[in-house]
Amino acid sequence: MTDHKGAPVFVKVDEYKEILDVLDLIKGRIKDIKETLGSIDQLRNEEDSEISMWNRTVEDIEKKIDNIDKIMFEPEQSW
């Protein structure tokens, strides 16, 4: 077998232009995908922040309920 690495490739000009158009289309789609992934990542970060806030709020409420529970059922120890 003959090794053809680096050998010139000949294509018709119209096929070459079509290949360039396809490559431009692919590059455009890749750009769109990256933008979409960036948006998804931003949304995920916002959701994570919101969920963290909810968790802190629930923990705060839980502490307050525990405190009320102690006051209600162990009044002599809470004073």
The answer to pTM > 0.75 is no
Angle among Cα 67, 68, 71 to the nearest 5 degrees reads 90
pLDDT digit string (tens) for the chain, length 79 residues: 556 677 777 778 888 999 999 999 999 999 999 999 999 999 999 999 999 999 999 999 999 999 999 988 876 665 5
Q: Which residues are CB-neighbours of 77 under 8 A, at least 6 positions away?
A: 70
